[in-house]
Structure 1
């Protein structure tokens, strides 16, 4: 073992002891990481990757708890109502979309959560079942225009990122199609693979495996640049659907009232887990971390900004809260 590796190992082993000596909070039992969707979606995949790394850093298991239903409201509300003691954390890429879609929220997103970390960012995709007779986004737009209302798309639930991305696609390209809501990104992708749904605008994390395997055809990555995770898929300009840009981000939050020292310890641990897992996250999900979200306030500011931007997109599309 090299001197550098020995030093790194010694530092890693010493970190919990140093933290305790400095009076930092350390968990004494397992932490629940609630994923408010069914297994197989982007939050579930990202959450499981980070839980593995964070468990080693914190010295206690970080256990995934899937709480699917109501477009992620059920799982998110469970965290909002949980004890603010550091043992319940939420990862939810729909956290900033739901307030723009749901008229009667069971919790106040900005007032009932504390920011922990941001796991990363990833663009959505425009994908179709391979039996759909379109090889490019422009061919698909022409097909939809020639057959208004004939095709349906898979949403990951009311107010989810795939739902809003689909509405943005419909609005910007002046299209008509049917929306089918599923209980998360995983079931939505499965419906597209089976042909139950014709197309969708899923997160890259939930669909990248199917695109690489050929069970879904990617027509565009919904960003202004190509993604290193799918370098052969054109961006929106190249695909001929300019303006249909939509990315998701993965905020991690805790219940309001969680003590500052607990938030600081959780934030430090999950940020370290994110950095350690960056290559794996990008390879498996197309998710990439960004700097600038080192404090609870910075995380919640990002949530606020996205609530406002999603609300503008939906109102411009003529969609009102339900």
Structure 2
């Protein structure tokens, strides 16, 4: 069960910098007031971190500040719905790594994740991690599996909200490994990680962006990076394959979208600015959030094709795991 759509091209994005800059300078559209980038989760999660890294340089390129607006609730549905209903004038954008996951988990979504949005850019890709509270008895993934199986229902599994990619990663983990852990849904990746650090929940599958600081600082113990290979951001943490939990390989991606009907010339200007900002911030994204930018998303259609593929892939994974939308 692997969500992996394109091989990482890393700093091949450098080749995109020059054309992106030309397009940004050549476009006639510019925002006329401060813009807002809606993050549909509480502060401190992966979308909040990634959004703040790229918002400042993108705003400098466009000539107006980009303000982060955290609108948490319903596993990102509330904030995403607000973005879908916003005027299609280029002044409201959405960054949501759960955008493609929500339709696979939530039965009644008030918007269409594909047709109610236009693609702007993709900030990057990042694997999930398997972490535990440092006081948790298990020190390896194999020990964690044995302990949870021996104590069904005793331990809590922290998620970033129903429909979040963290929720789906937890579902894949428990279904694939035949584990019984009680899911506890928080209002974003930041609160979920805070609950793990505090011991309210014992096990989690957070995104690398939201958990990296606590892992490095000792607030969380990482048992595995849920990827086929180790991450440069956490070189001492085994991959899922090395940890013996094959099949639990998941990554999130960060699409930046605008409301449906945003004019093509505005999308072109926004896309060029954000791609340039992402390229400029590639080192910070990897170091601070474990997020790797990739080439191949230079048009609005390419961004939305990735979202469409994600909706299909998440749905396939969860239906295979016996999970139906609620």
- Superposition TM-score, scaled by structure 2 size: 0.92
Distance in 1 separating the partners of 2:47 and 2:244? 29
User: 2:231 maps to which residue?
Assistant: 227
Q: 1:18 to 1:150 in 2, by over 3 A?
A: closer
User: 1:75 maps to which residue?
Assistant: 79
Q: 1:151 aligns with which of 155, 174, 180?
A: 155
User: 2:245 maps to which residue?
Assistant: 241
Deviation (angstroms), 1:24: 2.0
Ranges in structure 2 where 5+ consecutive residues have no aligned partner: 1-17
Deviation (angstroms), 1:126: 0.1
Distance in 2 separating the partners of 1:38 and 1:18? 31
Q: Which has the higher contact order (CA 8 A, sep 6+)?
A: 2
Deviation (angstroms), 1:208: 0.2
Q: How many residues align?
A: 308
2:287 matches 1:314: no
User: 2:124 maps to which residue?
Assistant: 120
User: 2:103 maps to which residue?
Assistant: 99
- Superposition TM-score, scaled by structure 1 size: 0.93
Counterpart secondary structure, 2:229? coil
Distance in 1 separating the partners of 2:293 and 2:54? 12
Deviations 1:53-90 (A, max 9, x none): 11111111000011011110000000100000000000
Q: 1:234 to 1:257 in 2, by over 3 A?
A: same
User: 1:164 maps to which residue?
Assistant: 168
Deviation (angstroms), 1:110: 1.1
User: 1:8 maps to which residue?
Assistant: none
2:246 matches 1:263: no
Ranges in structure 1 where 5+ consecutive residues have no aligned partner: 1-11
Counterpart secondary structure, 1:86? coil
User: 2:279 maps to which residue?
Assistant: 275
C-alpha contact (below 8 Å) 1:82/1:255 kept by paired residues: yes
User: 1:210 maps to which residue?
Assistant: 214
| Structure of greater Rg | 1
Counterpart secondary structure, 1:304? helix
Distance in 2 separating the partners of 1:120 and 1:181? 25
Q: 1:252 to 1:178 in 2, by over 3 A?
A: same
Counterpart secondary structure, 1:32? strand
User: 2:53 maps to which residue?
Assistant: 49
Across the aligned residues of Structure 1 and Structure 2, the Cα RMSD in angstroms comes to 1.5
C-alpha contact (below 8 Å) 2:24/2:273 kept by paired residues: no
Distance in 2 separating the partners of 1:257 and 1:161? 27
